[in-house]
Amino acid sequence: MKKIIQSFLNILIIICWVKSFSQIETIENVPIDNVYMPSKKYGDIVQYAQDIIKKTDLVWTPLSKDLITLTYSDFIVNYATEGGGYILLESPSLAIDFIQGGFWNVKKSLAKDFLLEIAKKSINHPEEIAKNVAKATIDEGLSDYYDAFNIVSKYSRSKKLSRQEALHFIEKKWGFMKLSAARKLISDIISNNYEDPNKKLTRSALNDVYKKMEEALNINSGSSSEISNVDAAFFVWDLSNLMMEAKVGIMNYKPYVDFRNRMIEINNLMMEEIKSWKPWIEITIPNSQTRWIKGESISLEWTTFNIPEDIPIEFILAKGGESIQKIGPFSNKGFVNDFRTQIDLEEGDDYRIYGYELFPLDGENYASYETPYFKVISESNKDPLGTEKENKRQRFAGRNISYIKEIEVNSSEITISLWDHGRQDGDIVSIYLNGEVITSNHSLTNSKANFRVQLNPERANDLMLYAHNLGSIPPNTVSISINDQYQSEDIVLNSDLMNSEAVILKVAKH
């Protein structure tokens, strides 16, 4: 009789485990359309958050929380907050934007030796680093999921959701979406069905990668033994591009590449959603390529989201981590030209700008941003060939930007027409003007889509293509016609998931 009862209990345990894993599969496969919805039809963030809670209600039950904890508890190692450097590899192209905008829980600075060790292992031991990246993502994902779960639990009891809680929820709810991608990465690594990514690399080529890697680290950190999280993110981005170019290390390791692409998709949507609701500022000039000339006037350019024009923006100039002068405040028009600092600046490569909104409408959510290091040089060291580069946006939403042309138009009001270049192949794009979206997630066809836009006549305007996929015939390619009522010009822009092409538009002075 005891054997029969024990057998029955074993069967029940097996059934429960099967149901548990089935439940986990259901939770982890919640459609992304239920987690992220176009926000334009919503004027109220509370209603937006309530609708997402309703569409994803299965995720926020106590049973689901217990199952998620049971499934992932073995991976909780606190890599994201302690290791710091590992989470930067989750989606290197977007880490910079998240840290500069203050949305990632990463230590303020990292030991340069620790970051160098990660960098070397990213080349020599991609499996080990990929596994640590997956664990860091699980650590961060669980922490975010628990935060969102607590908000939903409180809302379920009280039937009340404050604006602050809604904002926090839409940011933290992405945690559970990241878990399955990280678990799949670990599973792929364990299967060991992938070839050595360095198999075809010669020793001399590997040494060349090492040399460039150490140069990149020194450029981003200077002589200090510590490196700020912003500069660490720029280094990891440089390292990623270096490994992709050399086809070596973790960037040539398929399990990680598949994971990274999935995380880029998730983090892109997360950032787009945050920018729809939370105040955000992005300083585009100065940037890492900027060279201020001693004694000459300077320029600042920035883009804001959800910050009214009458809210002033203030900046702080810092050198080596020490604030040396306030700049502003200025009205939120996006640029300041011909500004002179109050003090004589020394030459150096460790200057940066901090920007933030003054008197925010929401006291608990204010926008701030910090640039990477840039240089101040003397007139004698000025590079006549490099002065134009500093006046262009170098990165946007995790993409490198390359400018193919400068176009002069006769009117500040122009019409931009878009259509698929060549054969229609399912390309989906967004088009940005000066960092502001003209059209988002637009499916290209052979028919022209027209958009009326206003240029800023006082500055160079950048028009950029952002690809959301590669279509069936990579890369993503769009034909664009620019019409100023007097003449039109056709151009072709290309983009993949790491790089975007752009043009500069200037209004002619009459």
What are the pLDDT digits (tens) for 310-366?
A: 889 999 998 877 888 888 888 888 888 778 776 778 888 888 888 988 887 766 677
Same domain (yes/no): 300, 157: no
Q: Note the pLDDT of residue 152.
A: 94
pTM of this structure: 0.73
Same domain (yes/no): 15, 155: no
Q: What is the largest CA-CA distance in the chain?
A: 99
Ranges 191-205, 259-273, 419-433: which has the least confidence: 191-205
Taking all residues of the chain, what is their mean pLDDT, rounded to a whole number? 78
What tens digit of pLDDT does each residue of 234-253 get?
A: 888 888 888 887 788 888 88
Closest Cα to residue 161, out of 79, 49, 20? 49
Average pLDDT over residues 468-496: 80
End-to-end CA distance of the chain: 99
More confident residue, 340 or 386: 340
Look up the domain containing 95 and give its range: 31-202+253-268
Same domain (yes/no): 384, 433: no
> Strand 298-305's sheet: what is its strand order?
280-285, 298-305, 335-339
Same domain (yes/no): 357, 259: no
CA–CA separation, 244 and 396 (whole Å):
19
What 3-state DSSP class applies to 52? helix
CB 400 within 8 A of CB 238: no
Distances (CA, A) of 187 to 76, 86, 124, 257, 406: 16, 18, 20, 14, 48
Where is 428: in which H helix or E strand? Answer: strand 428-433
CA–CA separation, 8 and 2 (whole Å):
10
Same domain (yes/no): 142, 259: yes
pLDDT grade, residue 78 (50/70/90)?
very low
Q: Do the domain assignments include residue 236?
A: no
Same domain (yes/no): 155, 64: yes
Same domain (yes/no): 492, 472: yes
Q: Give the alpha-carbon dihedral of 418, 419, 425, 429, to 10 degrees.
A: 0
CB 241 within 8 A of CB 8: no
Instruction: List the CATH number of the domain containing 349.
Output: 2.60.40.10
Cα angle: 9, vertex 11, 13; to 5 degrees: 70
CA–CA separation, 151 and 168 (whole Å):
8
Per-range mean pLDDT, top range of 84-98, 351-365, 422-436, 441-455: 441-455
Same domain (yes/no): 422, 292: no
Number of domains in the chain: 4
Looking at residue 418, its amino acid is L
Same domain (yes/no): 335, 351: yes
What tens digit of pLDDT does each residue of 149-188 get?
A: 999 999 999 999 998 899 889 989 999 888 888 988 988 8
Q: Which 8-state DSSP code applies to residue 211?
A: H
Average pLDDT over residues 112-125: 84
Backbone conformation region of residue 472, classed left if phi is above 0, alpha if psi is from -120 to 50, else beta: alpha
CA–CA separation, 355 and 470 (whole Å):
35
Same domain (yes/no): 9, 46: no
Looking at residue 365, its amino acid is N
Q: Which residues of 194-228 are buried (b: 16+ CB within 10 A; e: fewer)?
A: eeebbeebeeeebeebeeebeebbeebbeeeebbb
Q: Which residues of 243-258 are buried (b: 16+ CB within 10 A; e: fewer)?
A: bbebebbbbbbebbee
Same domain (yes/no): 164, 302: no
Q: Do the domain assignments include residue 164?
A: yes
Q: Note the pLDDT of residue 298.
A: 80
